[in-house]
Amino acid sequence: MLNTQIIMEQMRYHPIVATISIGVSTVLASEVIWKVVQYFRSKRERANRVHEVVVFNELGEICAAQHLRSTRPGSQEPKVSHCWNTHCTLRNVGKIAEQIDRAVYSIDLAIYTFSSFLLADALKRALQRDVSIRIISDGEMVYSSGSQTTVLARLGVPVRVPITTYMMHNKFCVIDGVERVEEIRLLRKRKWMRPCYSIVVSGSVNWTRQGLGGNWENCIITADEKLTAMFQAEFNRMWKAFEKTGESLIQHK
């Protein structure tokens, strides 16, 4: 009680000290509240982040005729929201496209062969949002018929392939990898970047019609921080390695 009275007397006769004390207390209290809000927001966001296994099998195409009938006139994308087939190929491909559509800064794709129009369209939308895209592909398959990798290269996407008799057989995609986003921040000379979180899509499936709609395949879509960091590190390693031992596709805008 005596200490309180002393403090009150000091504040009474020293208004400047009182003002500073109140200001400091307010700032500290605000900082604590903001940290608490950030903690619970981050916790909620982590809980809502995707961790999913997507399986492709022989049942994925049994609803294809229904989707063709439900396609809107003038649109190439059929409706899949009310499909009864739990193995629906279009819905599963849509799960990958959804993550591409969420990309804020970067997409790094290492893919053996790529001919899916739906996923190529998602990457084109990302380009329109000024998302940085890089592709590593196989030196032989990149020139195969229907390759969407060469289509994207003509739109300005940098593509590298290894010059070797071995196959570049990876099938993974890193979206907004922490290391890559930081690299983009430095290149663009920004002090800060908009909030985003990393996603990796990886599995056995090639991004082709047969891979996505005929074969028995799988892919994992996850926001696990350790996994995304490891995949990003491997992509960066290959990207640098193929700069010296590989070749880049000629780009035509």
C-beta separation of 228 from 172 below 8 A: no
Q: Which residues are catalytic?
A: 169, 171, 176
- Tell me the residue type at 225: E
Q: Determine the angle formed by the axes of helices 117-128 and 89-101, rounding to 10 degrees.
A: 20
167 vs 224: CA distance, rounded Å: 27
191 vs 225: CA distance, rounded Å: 23
C-beta separation of 202 from 231 below 8 A: yes
DSSP 85-149: -TT-HHHHHHHHHHHHHT-SSEEEEEES-B--HHHHHHHHHHHHTT-EEEEEE-TTGGGSTT-HH
38 vs 44: CA distance, rounded Å: 10
User: Cβ neighbours of residue 198 under 8 Å, at least 6 residues apart?
Assistant: 174, 175, 176, 177, 178, 223, 225, 228, 229, 232
Beta bridge partners of 2: none
Rg (CA), the chain: 25
C-beta separation of 219 from 110 below 8 A: no
